Amino acid sequence: LNHCRNRGSEVLLGDLSHIHVWEQGGISQLGGVHPRTLRNLPDGTFSLEELRQLVRGDNPHWPVTSLVCVENTHNMAGGRVLPLRWLDELGATCRSLGLPVHMDGARLLNAAAALEVPPARLVRDCASVSVCLSKGLGAPVGSVVAGTKDFIRGALRLRKALGGGMRQAGVLAAAGIFALDHVAPALARDHAGVKKEEIKETGEEVIVRVLPMTASTVRLVVHCDIKPEDIPLVIKKLVYVIREFENE
């Protein structure tokens, strides 16, 4: 809403993006913003040539293309990290088109850990970014929107209009700061996975909770409370369940 101040503005975004699929069309309901989708590829990217073709100018018959949104990591693409080279090409393309880029970076710090680069490198060409503190970082609640001072000034006004103001938020902010200072540097551990080919038989009862995403896809997420020794047990349980289905 902060980027698309004029009603009838248009945002270009992936057809499997969280903003498009999981937010009840909020940009249209609340902001009068028109979404126009690009087909997400299996790695979470989309065609930059298609992006160029979909951009619309100030014709009275059309919405005005005002923003491009990307998601990193990409949830519906299996939590994949967007390739750094593609992000650079996206930035160059949007600069040439005069379009700002917003990154839905709920797990941006996980993407940075996976690529072994600073988070700032992933948003070098973005005008704004959102980061969640309560997922991989383990804070109890909270997200952060980052951008220029002018952008944040506008975001504060919108937050107030949407009823998002909060008193005595220092306790939550302190938890977020702790997560950034102490948990974020250890995210590489969550990405290490299991390197042994054989899974040790433990005989323990294992309960794994997964989220069904489609008819053939489920979602599993690790977080800072998951220990490295838990991963082999998860793999063992998944292998067991898959074999049970194969035997039916």
State residue 159's pLDDT score: 92
Q: Which pLDDT band holds residue 193 (cuts at 50, 70, 90)?
A: low
Average pLDDT over residues 124-152: 94
Average pLDDT over residues 94-119: 96
Q: Which pLDDT band holds residue 197 (cuts at 50, 70, 90)?
A: very low
Query: Exposed e or buried b for every residue in 205-222, given b needs 16+ CB within 10 A?
Result: eeeeeeeeeeeeeeeeeb
Cβ contacts of 206 within 8 Å, gap of 6 or more? 233, 234, 236, 237
Q: Kindly state the helix (H) or strand (E) to which residue 96 belongs, with its residue range.
A: helix 84-97
Domain with CATH 3.40.640.10 in the chain: 9-182
For the entire predicted model, the pTM comes to: 0.84
Q: Mean pLDDT in the chain?
A: 90
45 closest CA partner among 77, 20, 4? 77
Is residue 194 within 8 Å of residue 235, measured between CB atoms? yes
Does position 230 have pLDDT exceeding 90, yes or no? no
State residue 198's pLDDT score: 36
Least confident of 36-40, 123-127, 226-230, 244-248: 244-248
Could you give the CA distance from residue 103 to residue 116 in angstroms, rounded to a whole number?
19
Average pLDDT over residues 141-148: 94
The CATH architecture annotation of domain 9-182 reads 3-Layer(aba) Sandwich (3.40)
State residue 173's pLDDT score: 92
Could you give the CA distance from residue 33 to residue 15 in angstroms, rounded to a whole number?
16
